[in-house]
Structure 1
Amino acid sequence: MTILILGAGPTGLGAAYHLNKLGHKDWQLFERNDHVGGLSASFLDDAGFTWDIGGHVLFSHYNYFDKAVAEALGDSYYEHQRESWVRILQTWVPYPFQNNVRHLPDDALHACVEGLRNLKGSPAHTNNFREWMDTVFGSGIVNYFMEPYNRKVWGVPLETMSKEWIAERVSVVDLARIEKNIAEQRDDLSWGPNNTFKFPKQGGTGAIYEGAAKPFRDRIHLNHEMQTVDLEAKQVRFTNGRVESYDVLITTAPLDVFVRSCNSMPEAVVTATDDLVHNGGLIVGLGFDGGRADTKCWMYFPESNSPFYRVTNFHNYSPHNVPNGDAKRSFSVMCETTYSPHKPESPATIVDETVLGLINNGMITHRENRDIVSRYLIDIPYSYPVPALGRNRALSLIQPYLESRDVYSRGRFGAWKYEVGNMDHSFMQGVEVVDRLLAGTEEKVINGKG
């Protein structure tokens, strides 16, 4: 079986890693960029700062992925206790917001608690994410945090999103617990699968995938961008003119892009991609001279006084993310802003707007603005696959058709399932599709079963 893999992100590398482990000989991996890692790659700028493509943290649900990371990094990683916060009403509220509303000013605190006490309706009977929020969190938490924050993250009207993706992505509410936290003045910080996480000592998140790829670098072909796929002849043509044949194709390209790159594609399948919604992201990295005494890992920003929805104190993840590995003399923050047709943002102005947003929120001072020695911008046209209302209907048409043609579309944008789009999920999608192809076993991750 000749297997071709498109894309050297976590999913493509997961498939390649597993094929290599199994000793399967007839496979190759093609990547359009000049590096591996996909959206989990990292970059070193001219000033000596390391940047990720957004605020990645390494946590896992799978032993197989853990072992692959251990092989890739050895003991060259740090382990951190998550410290994440919400910046709102000129104060800091520990994450998750809904469990720690005691930190809010009195009127906001009262509104949040009263909203919970007066909940109406059933989450099971809601039709979309916006309605689901109202029945779970109440008007106070929705108005202060959930609605403005999610609007900034997703960049789409929230009533156009389904509620099916929630799972462990959103901490739901326990009113008795919240009232006890308020009465006892107690912080509630431990929720979520990423309350502890690992980070590579050097090379950013991309070091994981550079390490994982080492044993089979000779099978990875960089600078090969897919141009067209001939489903009848089972051939991929690349923009550099190279043509490769396959028996089975594993693609991690964005599903809408891939479908429109194929010939002989039924019109109904092409049309179905109209229901696949995504946003883009502008990642602004700012490197500063001088140290920073702030133990926070990452922070959420729901308010309109900044363009970004999340900021990471990236120097806290590893001192080697700053020049000379000296976090006492330099610090770095990484700021993420969503853009979409509903939420336009300009790459030409986003860096200045980001600096102003940091000043507005007390993250930096006007004086520290003069200490910026690195401004790094990454534009990601495909940032989040939005769990839109029509997504599952589209996938139920597109994926079976592709698989009937020996094409398996997997990964963050290949599967188009945000809820299984973390690094560990994505890597395991690659592993499991290989097992399905070679041994006939069931894929659990993509089907939400593991």
Structure 2
Amino acid sequence: MKIVIVGAGPTGLGASYQLHTRGFSDWQLFERSSHVGGLSASFVDEAGFTWDIGGHVLFSHYDYFDSVVDEALNGAWYEHQRESWVRLLESWIPYPFQNNIRHLPPAALNECLEGLKALAGDPRAASNFSEWMDTVFGAGIVKHFMEPYNRKVWGMPLHEMSREWIGERVSVVDLVRIERNIAEKIDDVSWGPNNTFKFPQRGGTGAIFTGIARQFQHHISSSHELVEVDLAARNIVFTNGRQECYDTLITTIPLDIFIDLCRDVPEEVREAARNLVHNSGLIVGIGVEGERRDSKCWMYFPEDNCPFYRVTNFHNYSRWNVPNGDTGSFFSLMCETTYSPHKPVNREGIVEATIEGLVNTGMLSDRERKRIVSRYLIDIPYSYPVPTVRRDAALSVINQFFESYGVYSRGRFGSWKYEVGNMDHSFMQGVEVVDRILTGVEERTFFGRV
């Protein structure tokens, strides 16, 4: 059996690692770009600042992935205690917002408390994400944070999103706990799987995946962009003219794009693909000359006084994210903005709009604005696969069809499952699909059983 993998992001590299570890030799990995890592790659700009493609942090649900990362980095990482905040009404509220509303101005605090006390209905009966928020958080928290923030992140009407994806992504509410936090002036910040995280000392998040790929570099063909798939003949064609036959194909490119590349796909599968929704992202890196003493890791911005929904103090992750590792002389802010058909953004003006937003929110002073030495922009056409109410039915039709032809679509946009789209989830989707192909064992991550 010959196995071909398309895409050298975390999932493709997870599949490759598992094939390499198992001693399976008849396989090849093809990557469109000149580097590995996909959305987890990192880049160094002309001024010497390192940037990720968005705010990645390394926390894991899998011992297996932890051991692979340890091997790839050889212990060269920093470990951080998460410190994340919400900027709202000229106040800083510790994350998760709903557990720390005591930091709000009195009027907003009372609105949030009254909304919690008036909660009614069963969240399990909610037919979409918007209804779920109303029944879990109440009118005040939804008004001040949940609705404006999620509208900024997702770039689409929230009633078109399902509630099934939420899981550990959102901290639900305990009114007794919140009232205790207010009375005893407690900051409740330990919630979540990423309350501690690691980060590579050098090379950004991409260092993890370049380290993994070194073991089987001879199996990787870069600068190969897929242009056509003949499902019946089990043959793929690249823009450079190369053709490759396979017995089993693991694809990690966006599922809707992959379908467009395939011959003889039935109309019902193409129709299902039209129900797959994604948003796009603009990552703006701002490098500044000067020292920034701020222990925050990342911050959320639900208000309209800035285009971004999240900012990372990227210099805090590793001093080598700034030129010469000199955090006494430089700092870096990585800002993330969503765009979509429902939320258009002026790409040409996003860098200056981001800088203006940093000033508006108190993240940059006028003096620091004049000391900006790097402006870096990354455009991500596929940022988040949106968990819409129609997604699961569409995926059922699509996956059943492709697997009948020996094709397994996995990864953040291959599976189109945001809830298992973190780096560790994505890597393990690759590992587990290989185990399924070779031994028939169940894929736990892809089927949501982690």
**Same-fold call, TM > 0.5?**
yes
**What is the letter of the counterpart of residue 313 of structure 2?**
N
**What is the letter of the counterpart of residue 129 of structure 1?**
F
Aligned to 2:396: 396
Aligned to 2:296: 296
1:230-270 Cα deviation digits (max 9, x unpaired) = 00110110011111100000000000000111001111101
**SS at 2:415's partner residue?**
coil
1:347 positional shift = 1.5
1:75 positional shift = 1.2
1:279-304 Cα deviation digits (max 9, x unpaired) = 00000000010110100000000000
**What is the letter of the counterpart of residue 89 of structure 2?**
L
**What is the letter of the counterpart of residue 131 of structure 2?**
E
1:66-97 Cα deviation digits (max 9, x unpaired) = 11101100110000000000000001000000
Residues 227-266 of structure 1 aligned to structure 2 (within 5 Å): 227-266=227-266
Tell whether 2:186 aligns with 1:181: no
1:79-123 Cα deviation digits (max 9, x unpaired) = 000000000000100000000000000000000011000001111
The sequence identity of aligned pairs, in percent, is 67
**SS at 1:173's partner residue?**
coil
1:126 positional shift = 1.0
**What is the letter of the counterpart of residue 429 of structure 2?**
Q
Aligned to 1:445: 445
Residues 118-133 of structure 1 aligned to structure 2 (within 5 Å): 118-133=118-133
Aligned to 1:327: 327
**SS at 2:182's partner residue?**
helix
Give 5+ residue unaligned stretches, structure 1.
none
1:175 positional shift = 0.3
What is the distance in 1 between the residues matched to 2:332 and 2:73?
Answer: 23
1:318 positional shift = 0.2
What is the distance in 1 between the residues matched to 2:3 and 2:125?
Answer: 44
**SS at 1:383's partner residue?**
coil
**What is the letter of the counterpart of residue 244 of structure 1?**
E
1:346 positional shift = 1.7
**SS at 2:381's partner residue?**
strand
Tell whether 2:87 aligns with 1:87: yes
Q: Which moved more, 1:119-128 or 1:97-106?
A: 119-128
Aligned to 2:411: 411
Tell whether 2:176 aligns with 1:157: no
Aligned to 1:71: 71
Aligned to 1:147: 147
**SS at 2:274's partner residue?**
helix
What is the distance in 1 between the residues matched to 2:240 and 2:119?
Answer: 59
What is the distance in 1 between the residues matched to 2:369 and 2:326?
Answer: 20
**SS at 2:24's partner residue?**
coil
Aligned to 2:386: 386
Aligned to 2:21: 21
**Aligned residue-pair number:** 450
**What is the letter of the counterpart of residue 417 of structure 1?**
K
**SS at 2:383's partner residue?**
strand
What is the distance in 2 between the residues matched to 1:215 and 1:186?
Answer: 48
Aligned to 1:370: 370
What is the distance in 2 between the residues matched to 1:430 and 1:75?
Answer: 24
CA root-mean-square deviation: 0.4
Aligned to 1:351: 351
If the length of structure 2 is used for normalisation, what is the TM-score? 1.00
Aligned to 2:115: 115
What is the distance in 1 between the residues matched to 2:416 and 2:75?
Answer: 33
**What is the letter of the counterpart of residue 325 of structure 2?**
G
What is the distance in 2 between the residues matched to 1:236 and 1:120?
Answer: 54
1:161 positional shift = 0.2
**SS at 1:121's partner residue?**
coil
What is the distance in 2 between the residues matched to 1:126 and 1:325?
Answer: 49
1:130 positional shift = 0.2
**What is the letter of the counterpart of residue 108 of structure 2?**
A
What is the distance in 2 between the residues matched to 1:45 and 1:245?
Answer: 38
1:306 positional shift = 0.5
Aligned to 1:208: 208
**SS at 1:414's partner residue?**
helix
1:125-155 Cα deviation digits (max 9, x unpaired) = 1110000000000000000000000000000
Give 5+ residue unaligned stretches, structure 2.
none
What is the distance in 2 between the residues matched to 1:180 and 1:174?
Answer: 10
**What is the letter of the counterpart of residue 123 of structure 2?**
P
**What is the letter of the counterpart of residue 37 of structure 1?**
G
What is the distance in 1 between the residues matched to 2:344 and 2:30?
Answer: 32
**What is the letter of the counterpart of residue 64 of structure 2?**
Y
**SS at 1:209's partner residue?**
helix
**SS at 1:415's partner residue?**
helix
What is the distance in 2 between the residues matched to 1:345 and 1:328?
Answer: 34
1:311-355 Cα deviation digits (max 9, x unpaired) = 000000000000000111100000000000000012200000000
Tell whether 2:46 aligns with 1:46: yes
